[in-house]
Amino acid sequence: MQRPEPFLLINFKTYLEATGKRAVELSKQVEKVGENTGVKVGVAPQFCDLERVSATVDIPVFAQHIDSVSPGSSTGHVLAESVKAAGADGTLINHSERPLRLADIDTAVQLAKQIGLRSVVCAGTARLAAAVALSEPDMVAIEPPELIGTGRAVSKENPGIVTDSVKRVYRVNQTVAILCGAGISTGDDVSAALKLGTDGILVASGIVKAKNPQEVLASFCEAVVR
Amino acid sequence: MQRPEPFLLINFKTYLEATGKRAVELSKQVEKVGENTGVKVGVAPQFCDLERVSATVDIPVFAQHIDSVSPGSSTGHVLAESVKAAGADGTLINHSERPLRLADIDTAVQLAKQIGLRSVVCAGTARLAAAVALSEPDMVAIEPPELIGTGRAVSKENPGIVTDSVKRVYRVNQTVAILCGAGISTGDDVSAALKLGTDGILVASGIVKAKNPQEVLASFCEAVVR
Amino acid sequence: MQRPEPFLLINFKTYLEATGKRAVELSKQVEKVGENTGVKVGVAPQFCDLERVSATVDIPVFAQHIDSVSPGSSTGHVLAESVKAAGADGTLINHSERPLRLADIDTAVQLAKQIGLRSVVCAGTARLAAAVALSEPDMVAIEPPELIGTGRAVSKENPGIVTDSVKRVYRVNQTVAILCGAGISTGDDVSAALKLGTDGILVASGIVKAKNPQEVLASFCEAVVR
Amino acid sequence: MQRPEPFLLINFKTYLEATGKRAVELSKQVEKVGENTGVKVGVAPQFCDLERVSATVDIPVFAQHIDSVSPGSSTGHVLAESVKAAGADGTLINHSERPLRLADIDTAVQLAKQIGLRSVVCAGTARLAAAVALSEPDMVAIEPPELIGTGRAVSKENPGIVTDSVKRVYRVNQTVAILCGAGISTGDDVSAALKLGTDGILVASGIVKAKNPQEVLASFCEAVVR
């Protein structure tokens, strides 16, 4: 079966280095590396920055979360339509730092679909990756919480969880793209992830907190095209 | 004691009528009524709209919520610094549709203060209004949840809860401004609120879902200056 | 494939009719009907009643929930070991009135297994029933939230969701038992559920709030053995 | 003003050393020390153990939490009436390991009052202690989360937070009893707490995880009567 083009998605979390104008600047750098290397890259800035980032760069822009709410009386919640209106292309759902109830994950995926937002649903184990793949999101991202932010890459520290996730996800859903994340910090980590059968990576501190994000991302992209 | 100038704050909730470009349009209308009447008015759009609304109008702009998180690894949360970087002047905290744990309310108020965001903490009863006033936010807003969105104004249906809130809040904090909300839909409702000792109102559907929001808001403002 | 013996599980919720001594009394009535009809019946009383109910009757006793916590510093949480020590045989997990985060459902199932508690994981849709079946609990219970407590039985009002659940669950797990619930109030509702391919029912108000619970449960059991 | 008799309340948390039969055994030891020293002592076992502990000992027995729910359809929640029916005298509310939304704290206190359960509301700071004192529980317990389980006693490490809590609580409520907790592990820690103006202590690991709980508790009680 034809797999999708590899995709590197950069989660800005709530890092000050990627807040406000710095979110716009970092997104421009990401876009430039993508253009230079021909690799598909995307960014996931904070809600307040979605509009100006989307207006500035021409790469996929994702929200970091949406709530499973419909338009109306949901003060303080993140409406899928609002994310879409800000120009975003998709959204993360169920990141380990923003875990959702099972029913809310499924509802959020369906709400995203209905309005044309792509969805990346995160899961911390192979079994849970398969569980969320049943909701038919565009992508699942396997991220063992214990490796997030450690600089020890899931694709090297725990390749078994990645191959097991790929196997279990495919058993229930053959069309979903599979990302992996947690601790990715070098081009080798990215190569390893792709060799294990994934379609890309989800990365945060490895890029955002790097001294030279553009350089590190370039090394990631070169690993993809090698 | 000198009370603050009356303030009308319009909560856009997750209404489609006040999402994206329509949030900007509605904010312009609100600003115009404020200018025409000389009454202090503000808006609380969704997170994704804060930046463009703040960039367009010159009235107080509030977020609808912030999370009690610090910069860093809080994917999908609303960072106070992000709201500030988008140009907002303040934030609602603990709206009945986004209720918070007690400790998180206090933390959110302090986070807001530290970076110069004003805070409006909501409470559903007079006793809880006093409890949140102890955190020394800029404003407390008393909103009985059972009247929200009903069109039956708290200032007329349950004046006792408003006067009791004013009394209990002042007992513990004499400098906080007091708003009231829930069901406010006419200029009379606004007058009644001010006569009960409040410093303004928090309103949502009464303006956002009105056939002619500008007209209704004008009637509210006229009630203030009468 | 050999299916398990039909099982009728009665959820006492937080009904006063099934609290304290009345939980013990109702459990005795349930046991008696089970003995008279030869049908396998069980009860799910509140936490505080688990010990005395387990000490009194000789039928399966389930908790209504466990938390995904390990022994230690989890004040106010429900420890699997505590439920087990009280004599319970198993536990409900993720009831629609006590919904859990995806990762917590899986953790709770594994915690239950490790100490020999049986698990019944609830789900509101066919897709979610399959998702939770991946965690390999002993049973899944499909309960559309919109029919719970209505007296309109899922097995008659929405037979499609039951057959779809059976189909989707079996696709990923052939050994889990499948219960259905919501609105079950007559023997016909029970027959219908079994004919749709389920292995039993989860019922609450239909028994607990009945004028004569013993009589109604007897009619349920007769429908099973017919 | 006459202060209440000093009270030492032992929180069993979810420690295996205080689960099931071991909860009953530990409660008997606590009772014996209370009898020998004449000091008022109480225990807070897990929900599942409330009934047998209450049936065995003649000292105050507290639940560790109640939910702000009324009788009915609240599967998996802890109903105040259920705790009462199990023989408990009171309940902790808002322990830092089971934090509640502001409105739920107040509701839980009122639900407890209505059925004659005593309430001990926990708070992590002096300001929050005053906030919860407005709900007029029987006791407030000041416990800085950062010291819980450390063995470094709040009454010695941070006496300022205790005296500040006493001062702020009395400003809004003169009749509530004030406990303090976190890190209490010696009789000196208990003496220090009482000298700072509190009416007793809330302790967990200091007793439950002690090699000889009875001996340690005896030293606490001797510090009270000294």
3-state secondary structure A134-155: CCCCCEEEECCHHHCCCCCCHH
**C128 touches A at CB < 8 Å:** yes
Structure tokens at A208: 């955002």
The CA–CA distances, whole Å, from D112 to D89, D129, D218 equal 10, 18, 31
**Distance, CA of D130 to CA of D176 (rounded, Å):** 10
Q: Examine the pLDDT at B209 and tell me if it is beyond 80.
A: yes
| Strand runs labelled E in chain C | 7-11, 40-44, 62-63, 90-93, 118-123, 139-142, 177-181, 200-203
Structure tokens at A202: 């989800």
**Distance, CA of B105 to CA of B58 (rounded, Å):** 28
Structure tokens at A26: 């970092």
Say whether A99 and C100 touch across the interface (CB within 8 A): no
Q: Examine the pLDDT at B46 and tell me if it is beyond 90.
A: yes
- Sequence-distant (≥ 6) Cβ neighbours of residue B211 within 8 angstroms: none
Residues of A in contact with C132 (CB under 8 A): 102, 131
The CA–CA distances, whole Å, from C147 to A110, B165, C61, D69 equal 21, 40, 25, 21
The CA–CA distances, whole Å, from D51 to A113, B168, C49, C53, D217 equal 50, 40, 8, 11, 23
Shortest distance between the Cα of B3 and any Cα of chain D, in A, equals 24
**C-beta neighbour count of B143 within 10 angstroms:** 29
The radius of gyration of chain A from alpha carbons, rounded to an integer in Å, stands at: 16
**Distance, CA of C187 to CA of C153 (rounded, Å):** 11
**C-beta neighbour count of A83 within 10 angstroms:** 31
pTM, two decimals, is 0.96
Say whether B100 and D101 touch across the interface (CB within 8 A): yes
Of the candidates A94, A125, A134, the beta carbon closest to that of C131 is on A134
Instruction: Give the CA dihedral B75, B76, B80, B85, nearest 10 degrees.
Output: 90
- Provide the angle, in degrees to the nearest 10, between the axes of the packed helices B187-195 and B213-225: 30
Of the candidates A94, A96, A102, the beta carbon closest to that of C128 is on A102
The mean pLDDT value of chain B amounts to 95
Catalytic residues of D: 95, 143
Q: Pick the closest to residue B45 from B96, B83, B97 (CA basis).
A: B83
Query: Mean pLDDT throughout B133-140?
Result: 98
Structure tokens at C110: 């594994």
Say whether C134 and A127 touch across the interface (CB within 8 A): yes
Residue type, D186: T
- In contact, D40 and D221? CB cutoff 8 Å: no
CA dihedral for D29, D35, D38, D39, sign (positive or negative): positive
**B11 touches A at CB < 8 Å:** yes
Q: Pick the closest to residue C139 from C122, C158, C160, C163 (CA basis).
A: C122
Say whether A99 and C103 touch across the interface (CB within 8 A): yes
**Distance, CA of B73 to CA of A111 (rounded, Å):** 26
- Sequence-distant (≥ 6) Cβ neighbours of residue B35 within 8 angstroms: none
**C-beta neighbour count of A132 within 10 angstroms:** 29
**Distance, CA of D128 to CA of D141 (rounded, Å):** 10
Residues of C in contact with A125 (CB under 8 A): 103, 106
Q: How far is CA B60 from the centre of its chain?
A: 10
Query: Mean pLDDT throughout A55-63?
Result: 98
**Distance, CA of C2 to CA of C192 (rounded, Å):** 20
User: Could you tell me the strand order of the sheet in which C200-203 lies?
Assistant: C40-44, C7-11, C200-203, C177-181, C139-142, C118-123, C90-93, C62-63
Q: Examine the pLDDT at A126 and tell me if it is beyond 80.
A: yes
**C-beta neighbour count of A225 within 10 angstroms:** 9
Q: How far is CA A32 from the centre of its chain?
A: 19
Q: Examine the pLDDT at D1 and tell me if it is beyond 70.
A: no
Would you state the pLDDT for residue B211?
95
Would you state the pLDDT for residue A1?
59
Active site residue A51: no
**Number of residues assigned to chain D:** 226
Three-class DSSP category at C145: helix
Q: Nearest-CA residue of chain A relative to C132? A: A131
Q: Nearest-CA residue of chain D relative to B135? A: D127
Query: Mean pLDDT throughout A7-29?
Result: 98
- Provide the angle, in degrees to the nearest 10, between the axes of the packed helices B213-225 and B21-37: 30
Query: Mean pLDDT throughout B49-73?
Result: 98
Structure tokens at D134: 């407005």
Q: Give the active site residue among B65, B143, B215, B222.
A: B143
Q: Pick the closest to residue D29 from D50, D37, D91 (CA basis).
A: D37
Of the candidates C19, C82, C92, the beta carbon closest to that of D48 is on C82
A-contacting chains (≥3 CB pairs under 8 Å): B, C
Which of C16, C22, C25, C48 is most worth mutating to test chain D (most D CB atoms within 10 A of its CB)?
Answer: C48
* Domain residue extents for chain A: 7-225
Q: What is the Cβ-side half-sphere exposure of residue A212, based on CA atoms within 13 angstroms?
A: 7
Shortest distance between the Cα of B131 and any Cα of chain D, in A, equals 4
Would you state the pLDDT for residue C37?
96
**C-beta neighbour count of C40 within 10 angstroms:** 17
Q: Does an interface of 3+ CB pairs under 8 Å exist between A and B?
A: yes
Query: Mean pLDDT throughout D82-91?
Result: 98
Of the candidates C49, C73, C81, the beta carbon closest to that of D16 is on C81
Say whether D73 and C19 touch across the interface (CB within 8 A): no
Would you state the pLDDT for residue B201?
95
Q: What is the Cβ-side half-sphere exposure of residue B221, based on CA atoms within 13 angstroms?
A: 23
**Distance, CA of A97 to CA of A75 (rounded, Å):** 21
Q: Report the CATH fold assignment for A7-225.
A: TIM Barrel (3.20.20)
Count Cβ atoms within 10 A of the Cβ of residue D191 and give its class: 0-12 exposed, 13-18 middle, 19 or more buried: middle
Three-class DSSP category at B171: helix
Element (H, E) at C113: helix C102-114
Q: Examine the pLDDT at D2 and tell me if it is beyond 80.
A: no
Backbone angles phi, psi at C115, to 5 degrees: -115, 10
DSSP D14: B
Say whether A106 and C128 touch across the interface (CB within 8 A): yes
Would you state the pLDDT for residue A48?
98
User: Could you tell me the strand order of the sheet in which D90-93 lies?
Assistant: D40-44, D7-11, D200-203, D177-181, D139-142, D118-123, D90-93, D62-63
**Distance, CA of C115 to CA of A120 (rounded, Å):** 35
**Distance, CA of B108 to CA of A75 (rounded, Å):** 16
Backbone angles phi, psi at A141, to 5 degrees: -125, 120
- In contact, D60 and D90? CB cutoff 8 Å: yes
Q: What is the Cβ-side half-sphere exposure of residue A44, based on CA atoms within 13 angstroms?
A: 31
Three-class DSSP category at B145: helix
> What does pLDDT average to in each consecutive run of 10 residues of chain C (226 residues)?
88 98 98 96 98 98 98 97 98 97 97 98 96 98 87 87 95 95 92 94 95 96 90
Size of interface A-C (CB pairs under 8 A): 61
Would you state the pLDDT for residue B1?
60
**Distance, CA of A132 to CA of A11 (rounded, Å):** 20
Element (H, E) at C30: helix C21-37
**Distance, CA of C204 to CA of A6 (rounded, Å):** 50
Work out the pLDDT band at A135, boundaries 50, 70, 90: very high
**A20 touches B at CB < 8 Å:** yes
**pLDDT digit string, tens, across residues D99-117:** 999 999 999 999 999 999 9
Backbone angles phi, psi at B30, to 5 degrees: -60, -45
Q: Examine the pLDDT at D197 and tell me if it is beyond 70.
A: yes
Residues of A in contact with B82 (CB under 8 A): 14, 19-20, 46-49
**Distance, CA of C117 to CA of C121 (rounded, Å):** 12
